[in-house]
Chains A and B, each alone.
Chain A
Amino acid sequence: MTATIAPPAFGASKGSGRRKVKNNVMTGLVWLSFGIALVPLVWLLYTVLDRGLHAMTRNGWFTHSQRGLTFTDPGGGAYHAILGTLEEVGFCTLISVPIAIMVAIYLVEYGNNWLARITTFMVDILTGVPSIVAALFIYALFLATLGGQFAGVYASLALVLLMVPVVVRTTEEMLKLVPNELREASYALGVPKWKTIVKIVLPTAFTGITTGVVLGIARVAGETAPLLVLVKYTPNINGDLFSGFQASLPLMIRDQVNNLGASYGLNADGARVKLHNYAPDRLWGAALTLILIVMLLNLIARLVGRFNKVSN
Chain B
Amino acid sequence: MSTSQGEPMPDRDRTTDDESTTRASGSAAGGPPPKVEPPSIAGESVLAPRPATDTDIEREMGRLAAASGDADGVLPPRPATATDLGHEIEVLGSAEPLAISTIDQPPPSAAGDLPAGPSRSGKIRIGDRMFRGMSIGSGLIIIALVVAVGAFLVVKAWPALSKDKANFVLSRDWSTDGKVLRFGIVDLLWGTIIVSVIAMILATPISLGIALFITQYAPKRLATPVAYVIDLLAAIPSIVYGIWGLIVLAPALEPVQRALYHLDFIPIFDKKNVATGTIFDAGIVLAVMILPIMTAISRDVFERTPRQNIEAAWALGATRWEMIRLSVIPYGRAGIVSGAMLGLGRALGETVAMYLILSKPATGAPFTPSIFNGAETFASKIANNAAEFESPTSAGAYIAAGLVLFVLTFIVNAAARAIVNRRKEFS
- A: residues with CB less than 8 A from B are 1-5, 7-8, 11, 14-15, 19-20, 22-23, 26-27, 29-34, 36-38, 40-41, 43-44, 47-48, 99, 102-103, 105-113, 115-116, 118-119, 121-134, 136-137, 139-141, 143-145, 161, 164-166, 168-170, 172-195, 197-198, 204, 208, 211-212, 215-216, 218-219, 221-225, 228-229, 250, 253-254, 257, 260, 280, 283-284, 287, 290-291, 294-295, 298, 301-302, 305, 307-312
Give complex CA distance A103, B143 in Å. 11
**What B residues does A187 contact at CB under 8 A?**
19, 22, 107, 109-111
| CB atoms of A311 and B69 under 8 A apart | yes
| CB atoms of B237 and A229 under 8 A apart | no
* In the complex with contacts A130-B379, A180-B18, A186-B57 CB distance below 8 A: yes
How many residues of B are counted as interface, with CB atoms below 8 angstroms from the partner's CB atoms? 164
| CB atoms of B17 and A22 under 8 A apart | no
Please give the distance in Å from A84's CB to the nearest CB on chain B. Answer: 14
Q: Which residue on chain A has the smallest CB distance to residue B94? A: A180
Give complex CA distance A242, B51 in Å. 55
B130 interface contact, C-beta 8 A: yes
In the complex, per-residue mask of B44-61: 1 if CB is within 8 Å of any chain A CB, else 0 = 000000011010110011
Q: Which residue from B8, B140, B307 sits with its C-beta under 8 Å from A5?
A: B307
| CB atoms of B128 and A11 under 8 A apart | no
| CB atoms of A127 and B22 under 8 A apart | no
Give complex CA distance A25, B146 in Å. 47
Give complex CA distance A215, B233 in Å. 14
Give complex CA distance A11, B319 in Å. 7
| CB atoms of B4 and A133 under 8 A apart | no
Please give the distance in Å from A201's CB to the nearest CB on chain B. Answer: 10
| CB atoms of A287 and B240 under 8 A apart | yes
| CB atoms of B321 and A182 under 8 A apart | no
| CB atoms of A179 and B80 under 8 A apart | yes
**What B residues does A20 contact at CB under 8 A?**
319
**What A residues does B257 contact at CB under 8 A?**
none
Give complex CA distance A143, B390 in Å. 10
In the complex, per-residue mask of B83-125: 1 if CB is within 8 Å of any chain A CB, else 0 = 0011001001100000111111001011110101000000010
Give complex CA distance A283, B64 in Å. 48
Q: Which residue on chain B has the smallest CB distance to residue A11? A: B314
**What A residues does B242 contact at CB under 8 A?**
224
| CB atoms of A122 and B148 under 8 A apart | no
| CB atoms of A32 and B138 under 8 A apart | no
| CB atoms of A183 and B209 under 8 A apart | no
Please give the distance in Å from B100's CB to the nearest CB on chain A. Answer: 7
Interface set, chain B 378-427, CB cutoff 8 A to A: 378-379, 382-383, 386, 389, 392, 395, 398-399, 402, 405-406, 409-410, 412-414, 417
| CB atoms of B149 and A133 under 8 A apart | yes
B349 interface contact, C-beta 8 A: yes
**What B residues does A294 contact at CB under 8 A?**
235-237
| CB atoms of B236 and A139 under 8 A apart | no
Please give the distance in Å from A138's CB to the nearest CB on chain B. Answer: 9
| CB atoms of B112 and A27 under 8 A apart | no
| CB atoms of A37 and B230 under 8 A apart | yes
Give 23 pairs: A residue, B residue, CB < 8 Å, sorted on A: A11-B317, A14-B317, A33-B206, A34-B213, A44-B244, A48-B240, A103-B141, A113-B101, A113-B103, A119-B140, A128-B346, A131-B351, A132-B379, A133-B349, A181-B85, A192-B124, A221-B237, A225-B352, A228-B355, A229-B383, A280-B247, A308-B68, A311-B68
| CB atoms of B352 and A33 under 8 A apart | no
| CB atoms of A15 and B405 under 8 A apart | no
* In the complex with contacts A145-B152, A189-B52, A193-B128, A180-B402 CB distance below 8 A: no
**What B residues does A106 contact at CB under 8 A?**
135-136, 138-139
Q: What 8 A-B pairs have minimum CB-CB distances, sorted nearest first?
A: A130-B349, A222-B237, A33-B209, A194-B131, A128-B413, A102-B138, A106-B135, A166-B6
| CB atoms of B229 and A38 under 8 A apart | yes
| CB atoms of A176 and B233 under 8 A apart | no
Interface centre among B81, B240, B310 (most CB of A within 10 A): B240
| CB atoms of A30 and B110 under 8 A apart | no
| CB atoms of A291 and B19 under 8 A apart | no
Interface-side segment among B215-223, B266-274, B366-374: B215-223
**What B residues does A189 contact at CB under 8 A?**
52, 54, 57
| CB atoms of B320 and A215 under 8 A apart | no
B376 interface contact, C-beta 8 A: no
Give complex CA distance A110, B140 in Å. 13
| CB atoms of B322 and A23 under 8 A apart | yes
**What B residues does A172 contact at CB under 8 A?**
11
* In the complex with contacts A14-B318, A188-B52, A311-B217 CB distance below 8 A: no
**What B residues does A164 contact at CB under 8 A?**
142, 145
Q: Which residue on chain A has the smallest CB distance to residue B406? A: A133
Q: Which residue on chain A has the smallest CB distance to residue B81? A: A179
Q: Which residue from A136, A143, A178, A253 sits with its C-beta under 8 Å from B402?
A: A136
**What A residues does B322 contact at CB under 8 A?**
15, 19, 23
